[in-house]
Structure 1
Amino acid sequence: MDDLVLHSLGFSLLLLLGLYGTGRIAYSIWWKPKSLERKLKKQGIKGTPYKLLVGDMKNCIRMITEAWSKPINLTHQIVQRVDPFTLNIVQKYGKISMFWNGKTPRLIISDPELMKEVLYNKQGHIQKPPVSPLILILARGLTLLDGEKWALHRRLINPAFHLEKLKGMIPVFAISCKEMIEQWKKMVNHQEACEVDVWPELQKTAKDIISRAAFGSNYEEGKKIFQLQQELVVLTVEAMRTLYIPGFRFVPTKKNQRRNKLNIEITSMLRDVVERKQNEMRTGQSRVDDLLSLLLHSSEQNSSENASSTKSNGLTIEEIVEECKVFYLAGQETTSALLTWTMIVLAMHPDWQEKAREEVLQICGKKEPDFEALTHLKIVTMILNEILRLYPPVIALYQQTHKETKIGDITIPAGVDLTLPTLLIHHDPEFWGDDAEEFRPDRFSEGVSKASKDHFAFFPFSWGPRTCIGQNFAMLEAKMVLAMILQHFSLELSPSYIHAPCTVMTMQPQHGAQVFIRQL
């Protein structure tokens, strides 16, 4: 009898646990998404209906695959090719519309004033969305942090990117540029012109610059680390293009094992570089003149000033290692993409190429540009801003509501992804006029704030507290590289160039950037 009662109780308990588990699953994959959908649509927000688990991901992948399967004409009307799915949603449902990222609703905000409220959100109700574990293997630094940890890292890293500090890095930029120029001269080698795929060339130069700027005298070691990290990036991007299965990264496949090995090796090598630099600084053997030493100096200074605090006020070695990884990823990907599109577009528009060259030669002659000269390159700056508008390296910003929050007249519940579509807004005639799809650098002749009908419509480096910390670094680097190329070469688009912009981590030329270079 007792056994029967125990058996009955055990069965009832299992049944209850089963019902509870089923209820949790049903809530997660159906009731919660439908509840969020009702709350948004009740406020007049239109969008796609929820599809169990997959949402709109299949349709999104299909549209991107189709768009990327064929090139386009030589035009700056690139939105349909680069981000066809977002464009389709906005055209169909409006500038404030929604679709489904799996079982999470994603709200597109294509209104600069509402976007401003998102980026300047002071309550902390809007933060970065959860990040795929595949991304975390690349770096866990500033760009992925939130809250107090983000504030601490930002405050400690800021001094390394002050303009006064960056002035001292201009000669470092010049060394890498000179090496590239000399290499290009060898390629031309008395020929009338030489075809060069400038995409890998500019990636190589950007890597060299960030290696020198980040590690100073240890840049060769830094370079080796970054080469391994580039292999890790390729493997990670490849994994992200496939359907993500939770836990699959732990399965000991050949590529998973290689990713893990690379991560361990990179982290170990960086830790050695950081510790060695720390010791050199303490014994006076190293100057505080590169990004790593500036970061270490800022962190140790902060710890000393707050020694009485019970909290840790500096960064740990592990945290500095992660920030070094970010220096590389953000430091070379964005700038090399910007410079590559600049080469392509100036080859398409020889009139603006000549205007830029005349300005560079007038201000710098054939001498290496210094900081003062770079600040006076007005036409070059206008051109770079127009490239950032038409071909922004990062095509959208992503956020998520962690608590219910109000943006304009919209009350957004917790758990909603937000997309701020940089590319779409940068090409929108409402803000840029009927010539929004044309290359017109003179629209920036009176600065960024007067270039469009709403100055928040231009945000290649984001806006607000989370504006890209490396913005000044990237722009100075781009000006230096562009100025030195224009001093020595003219550019013409090769017939073999295929116009096919696409976005992997940044916007890139899918089939390379073939340009004829002629030595002047």
Structure 2
Amino acid sequence: MKSLLFSFLLLLSVLVSLKNLSSWVLLGMLLIGLASYFLNVLWLKPKRLLWKLQRQGIRGPCPSFLYGNVQEMQKIQAKAMKAANFGEFVAHDYTSTLFPYFEQWRKEYGPIYTYSTGNKRHLYVNHPELVKEMNLSTSLDLGKPSYVTKRLAPMLGTGILRSNGHAWAQQRKIVAPEFFSDKVKGMVGLMLQSAEPLMAKWEASIEAQGGTTAEIRVEGDLRGVSADVISRACFGSSYFEGKMIFSKLRTLQKVIANQSVLFGIPTLGFFPSKQQKEIRSLEKEIESLIWETIAQRGEECSQEFPSEKDLLQLILEGAINDVGKNSSKKFIVDNCKNIYFAGHESTAVAISWCLMLLALHPEWQDRIRDEIAQVCPDGSIDADSLPKMKMVKMVIHEVMRLYPPAAFVSREALEDAQIGHLLVPKGVCIWTLIPTLHRDPEIWGSDANEFKPERFANGISGACKLPQVYVPFGVGPRLCLGRNFALVQMKVVISLIISKFTFSLSPKYRHSPAYRMIVEPGQGVQILIQRYERASSM
């Protein structure tokens, strides 16, 4: 829209300088055409979509011209943040603070309603059966929302996390095999290597803080471990070689999060804001660093002739073979950004939430520790022992239920799409709030807001009435490719920490979940750790 308006104003300046009648007639026709275009885009099209949804009995808040419901959303958000009671008390239901407009409208209009941001029409769907059908749909008519993809492009490009249709299927074909269970099992050794320095660092912190107890802020250390894992396993390098990429990605994530991806509306300004300039600069730096890493890795591989190809080599080959040499650079860089972000940021945040909850519930530390002692009598954790650790798995499932890093399942109807009894018109975006699904008492029981890992004793299907709405990694065709990788890494890190330390929450911890593209601890996670001294047998 911005480029169209700029082109029109440029043409307008030329026409105004002309004197003959035909030029003024042409100018009039252009003005009428432009007015018609904006009338259709800003008013008629959104009205038509709203009418199609209302005909099906779907209600929602009344939108205003140009802004839709954005101003109302901002007012509700401001009021909720003012009344927020973040602090020492840990309440797991954070949706009414982070996403208060969705919760307020859900109570008013039910689990299905419509709203708009600017000229974009949205459909909120938290009806379990409809969510199940949407997630399991194999139709390419449902894809990732294009306007969100555009806003996240500096961070994720058009890699596998945000692409649609043939491009998505093509990328999945190349990337997915590297994350199959057998491949991930072979990465356990690398994960242990990456986690061991963290154990040594925390041991040193205990010594430095008196020899008994140390206070640790965990999220930075966990990001370092997770980044090292993804670098070693997929790119053959250590975190120290790629730390600049991770640091700049984290900075870019924070800047983009400040733009309010959920309900911000595009501006018609011709000159980029200071924030947009910062985003573009970071994007260029990150892409340059990634490409340098790719080039270096390609040179190393040509000299080493490795027997096993890492993920980067497979992406390189797949891009050249499937998308052609001319398009391969963007393909490779975008997917590297996706893997760097999803492969370390989300996993590190999930482990941070795990440690917070285990610090609150030391009895589960004891259960995991007892299980480790049985499964690994010599104290050595390896790829064969991890599948036997049921307690760790139950805790991880419960943490991902209460604090899923991804807050939403989002789709856009790329063509008219049928979901259950609903006909979703082309152009409508569908949003499902995952934390609301994960705490629905009708699905999970009256204790849905409590930390109870035992609910997963018989797996996901035994934990709730409708397993398809447990979606921390998505479900169906768009199931997160890195699911196995993330779960195994979480098992490795948590098992190592619990086998070596006992820990509790620090008095400095303030429970304040924040949404910055993913739901993370807003003020970090501080814990008090002590060495675990294993009792010797008599």
Letter in 1 for 2:30: L
Sequence identity of aligned pairs in percent? 30
Q: 1:452 aligns with which of 456, 464, 483?
A: 464
Corresponding residue number in structure 1 for 2:355 = 343
- The separation in 2 between residues aligned to 1:58 and 1:236, in whole angstroms, is 20
1:471 aligns with 2:483: yes
What is the 5 A alignment of 1:401-420?
A: 401-420=413-432
- The separation in 1 between residues aligned to 2:378 and 2:230, in whole angstroms, is 24
How many residues get paired? 506
1:125 aligns with 2:141: yes
- The separation in 2 between residues aligned to 1:283 and 1:346, in whole angstroms, is 46
1:191 aligns with 2:224: no
Other structure's SS at 1:137 match: helix
Corresponding residue number in structure 1 for 2:123 = 107
Corresponding residue number in structure 2 for 1:504 = 516
What is the 5 A alignment of 1:192-231?
A: 192-217=212-237, 219-231=239-251
- The separation in 2 between residues aligned to 1:246 and 1:441, in whole angstroms, is 46
Corresponding residue number in structure 1 for 2:535 = none
Corresponding residue number in structure 1 for 2:528 = 516
How far the C-alpha of 1:188 sits from its partner, in A, is 1.1
Corresponding residue number in structure 1 for 2:504 = 492
Other structure's SS at 1:337 match: helix
1:47 aligns with 2:60: yes
What is the 5 A alignment of 1:119-268?
A: 119-130=135-146, 131=148, 133-140=150-157, 141-189=159-207, 190-217=210-237, 219-240=239-260, 245-246=266-267, 251=272, 253=274, 256-268=276-288
Other structure's SS at 1:105 match: strand
- The separation in 1 between residues aligned to 2:232 and 2:403, in whole angstroms, is 27
The answer as to whether partners of 1:215 and 1:222 remain within 8 angstroms in 2 is no
Q: 1:71 aligns with which of 85, 93, 114?
A: 85
The answer as to whether partners of 1:71 and 1:498 remain within 8 angstroms in 2 is no
Letter in 1 for 2:272: V
Other structure's SS at 1:271 match: helix
How far the C-alpha of 1:478 sits from its partner, in A, is 0.3
Corresponding residue number in structure 2 for 1:3 = none
Letter in 2 for 1:151: A
Other structure's SS at 2:431 match: strand
The answer as to whether partners of 1:394 and 1:506 remain within 8 angstroms in 2 is yes
- The separation in 1 between residues aligned to 2:111 and 2:151, in whole angstroms, is 31
Q: 1:31 aligns with which of 29, 40, 44?
A: 44
How far the C-alpha of 1:122 sits from its partner, in A, is 3.4
How far the C-alpha of 1:519 sits from its partner, in A, is 1.2
Q: CA 1:239–1:350 in structure 2 vs 1: closer, same or farther (change >3 Å)?
A: same
Q: 1:278 aligns with which of 298, 307, 327?
A: 298
The answer as to whether partners of 2:131 and 2:469 remain within 8 angstroms in 1 is no
- The separation in 2 between residues aligned to 1:378 and 1:315, in whole angstroms, is 45
- The separation in 2 between residues aligned to 1:127 and 1:41, in whole angstroms, is 23
Q: CA 1:465–1:250 in structure 2 vs 1: closer, same or farther (change >3 Å)?
A: farther
The answer as to whether partners of 2:227 and 2:239 remain within 8 angstroms in 1 is no
- The separation in 1 between residues aligned to 2:286 and 2:115, in whole angstroms, is 38
Corresponding residue number in structure 2 for 1:14 = 27
1:83-116 Cα shifts (integer Å, max 9, x gaps): 2221111111011111112222211111232123
The answer as to whether partners of 2:174 and 2:314 remain within 8 angstroms in 1 is no
What is the 5 A alignment of 1:272-421?
A: 272-288=292-308, 290-296=310-316, 303=321, 312=324, 316-365=328-377, 367-421=379-433
The answer as to whether partners of 2:206 and 2:530 remain within 8 angstroms in 1 is yes
Other structure's SS at 2:335 match: helix
- The separation in 1 between residues aligned to 2:439 and 2:161, in whole angstroms, is 26
Runs of 5+ consecutive residues of structure 2 not aligned to the other structure: 1-18, 533-538
Letter in 1 for 2:181: L
- The separation in 1 between residues aligned to 2:175 and 2:268, in whole angstroms, is 34
Corresponding residue number in structure 2 for 1:95 = 111
Letter in 2 for 1:21: L
- The separation in 2 between residues aligned to 1:214 and 1:227, in whole angstroms, is 18
The answer as to whether partners of 1:40 and 1:412 remain within 8 angstroms in 2 is yes
How far the C-alpha of 1:447 sits from its partner, in A, is 0.8
Letter in 2 for 1:235: V
Larger deviation, residues 14-23 vs 423-432: 14-23
The answer as to whether partners of 1:134 and 1:240 remain within 8 angstroms in 2 is no
How far the C-alpha of 1:32 sits from its partner, in A, is 1.4
The answer as to whether partners of 2:224 and 2:239 remain within 8 angstroms in 1 is no
Q: CA RMSD in A?
A: 2.4
Larger deviation, residues 474-483 vs 141-150: 141-150
The TM-score, its normalising length taken from structure 1, stands at 0.91
- The separation in 2 between residues aligned to 1:44 and 1:312, in whole angstroms, is 48
The TM-score, its normalising length taken from structure 2, stands at 0.88
Larger deviation, residues 60-69 vs 413-422: 60-69
Q: CA 1:466–1:243 in structure 2 vs 1: closer, same or farther (change >3 Å)?
A: closer
How far the C-alpha of 1:299 sits from its partner, in A, is 5.5
The answer as to whether partners of 2:253 and 2:516 remain within 8 angstroms in 1 is no
1:205-235 Cα shifts (integer Å, max 9, x gaps): 2222222223214653223322233233333
- The separation in 1 between residues aligned to 2:252 and 2:48, in whole angstroms, is 40
How far the C-alpha of 1:350 sits from its partner, in A, is 1.6
1:259-299 Cα shifts (integer Å, max 9, x gaps): 33332232223223223323433444445354323434555
Q: CA 1:376–1:279 in structure 2 vs 1: closer, same or farther (change >3 Å)?
A: same
The answer as to whether partners of 2:376 and 2:385 remain within 8 angstroms in 1 is yes
The answer as to whether partners of 2:70 and 2:264 remain within 8 angstroms in 1 is no
- The separation in 1 between residues aligned to 2:260 and 2:60, in whole angstroms, is 26
Q: CA 1:290–1:448 in structure 2 vs 1: closer, same or farther (change >3 Å)?
A: same
Letter in 2 for 1:173: M
How far the C-alpha of 1:366 sits from its partner, in A, is 6.1
